[in-house]
Structure 1
Amino acid sequence: MMTSLFSSFDPSSKMTQLNWIMMISPMMIMPMNFWLKKSRSNMLKKLIEKKISMEMWNNTKHKEMLMMTMSVFFIIMIINLMGLFPYTFTPTSHPSISMSMAVPMWLMLMIYGWMNFTKKMFIHLLPTGTPSAIMPMMIIIETTGNIIRPLSLSIRLTANMIAGHLLMTLLGNINEMNQVMFILPIQMMLMTFETAISTIQAYVFATLLSLYSSEIP
């Protein structure tokens, strides 16, 4: 029995800790090179990878960053979708997991950019055509916005995962027979909506990373 509404995000159970099981689930699902013939899931993965990589290529011309963002997209998407199954844990609903993905990647971009392209990184802090009177204020605003980027990446992912799962938990606690027929269609619609949200949030996370890397020459 849950002690509070947010205990639905508690990964512990009577049998084992589901934290690491859910975190390594993409490693068990994504490798598909052990099959003699390409499966439908492999063909679907290649199709998604082709479509997403074409869109990411418009944001960044760095091949290394393109490979990294594609890997992050698939990892987050699989983790989010696996969290929709009953009696499973969604690691991305915890800020510690989302921050551990956002901060190192943002820090990597900042260290690489400032060490190799210092002058051009300074140019990005001041938009073209800014009046002289507000130049110091614009530099402070751009610097602050740059610093909070990993926070916004992680909080956006965490908040979207928590919101839908809380609503599903609330509807799942309604067990009266006279309300089940009314709640069941809503739960099915919400499950479809959460499936879309899980994919969209992975796409948003990867797209924003590629956009951040586009500022680095």
Structure 2
Amino acid sequence: MAMNFFDQFDIPYILGTPLVIPALLFPVLMCLTTNRFLKNRHMTIQSWLLNKTTKQLLEPINTIGHKWASMFLTLFLMLILLNTLGLLPYTFTPTTQLSMNMAFAIPAWLMTILVGLRNQPTSSLGHLLPEGTPTPLIPMLVLIETVSLLIRPIALGVRLTANLTAGHLLMQLISTAVLTIMSSMTTTAMMALITLMLLTGLEMAVALIQAYVFVLLLTLYLQENI
């Protein structure tokens, strides 16, 4: 019975076609159907939010790194859409798959490393050895800093996967309990239903916050290499 709860994280198929493909196309379709020349309240609020979000994301970065604004904003919006997609009924959350999150994390992290090695190789390699380190501790600290550097993309992908998976699994458990005890324990079921509604709002916040944290950490990694 416990394994059935995790079936919701399996990639669903219809007529032999994985639904992860239209799920990934969902953000692209939303961008393509947006009329940039249409000025209304919706577009005005959307532009204001995008400008505020871009300023917030690029606040810890120097002026040199502002040219990466479009990439970070695109990744941020895509993660938001993919995270919130799973909150709709009969849908699938692509970002609960660790392989997909690692496909986002590894190239973005590698980009920050390559930028540093290209622009300032001495300073980038200097992060592996803090200044003033005693000579006997140099090999150990270099090894520790190298491992901490290589573990960054794993931490990015696992953090996003674990937070979304835990929230969706908890919602599945509570909803199953509500359906099971609705006929025998109506009061308890109603209290659990209210908890489920509150948890749904919390999951919406988690979906937004995790997308922001993912991109914010990438900006901090980039700041170390520019």
* TM-score between both structures, scaled by the size of structure 1: 0.90
Aligned counterpart for 2:78 among listed residues 69, 72, 75:
75
Cα separation, partners in 2 of 1:140 and 1:67, compared to 1, 3 Å? same
Query: Is contact 1:66-1:210 (8 Å) kept?
Result: no
Q: Who is 2:122 aligned against?
A: 119
Aligned to 1:24, what secondary structure does the other structure show?
A: helix
Distance between the aligned counterparts of 1:172 and 1:34, measured in 2? 39
Q: Who is 1:195 aligned against?
A: 204
Q: Structure 1 residues 49-58 or 98-107, which shifts more?
A: 49-58
Question: Any gaps of 5 or more consecutive residues in structure 1?
Answer: none
* Corresponding letter in the other structure for 2:107: P
Deviation at 1:143, TM superposition (A): 1.1
Deviation at 1:203, TM superposition (A): 0.2
* Corresponding letter in the other structure for 2:195: I
> Residues 103-114 of structure 1 correspond to what in structure 2 (within 5 A)?
103-114=106-117
Distance between the aligned counterparts of 2:73 and 2:36, measured in 1? 22
> Residues 12-27 of structure 1 correspond to what in structure 2 (within 5 A)?
12-14=12-14, 17-27=18-28
Aligned counterpart for 1:159 among listed residues 157, 162, 166:
162
Deviation at 1:13, TM superposition (A): 4.5
Query: Is contact 1:60-1:66 (8 Å) kept?
Result: no
Aligned-pair identity in percent equals 35
Cα separation, partners in 2 of 1:96 and 1:41, compared to 1, 3 Å? farther
State the number of aligned residues. Answer: 217
> Residues 197-212 of structure 1 correspond to what in structure 2 (within 5 A)?
197-212=206-221
Cα separation, partners in 2 of 1:117 and 1:171, compared to 1, 3 Å? same
Distance between the aligned counterparts of 2:89 and 2:28, measured in 1? 20
Query: Is contact 1:2-1:8 (8 Å) kept?
Result: no
Distance between the aligned counterparts of 2:199 and 2:76, measured in 1? 22
Q: Structure 1 residues 55-64 or 67-76, which shifts more?
A: 55-64
Q: Structure 1 residues 185-194 or 6-15, which shifts more?
A: 6-15
Deviation at 1:102, TM superposition (A): 0.5
Q: Who is 1:53 aligned against?
A: 54
Q: Who is 2:8 aligned against?
A: 8
User: How big is each residue's C-alpha offset from its partner over 1:36-65, in whole Å with a ceiling of 9 and x where there is no partner?
Assistant: 533444333322222222122222231232
Deviation at 1:124, TM superposition (A): 1.6
Distance between the aligned counterparts of 2:4 and 2:26, measured in 1? 27
* Corresponding letter in the other structure for 2:92: F
Q: Who is 1:138 aligned against?
A: 141
* TM-score between both structures, scaled by the size of structure 2: 0.87
Distance between the aligned counterparts of 1:86 and 1:128, measured in 2? 54
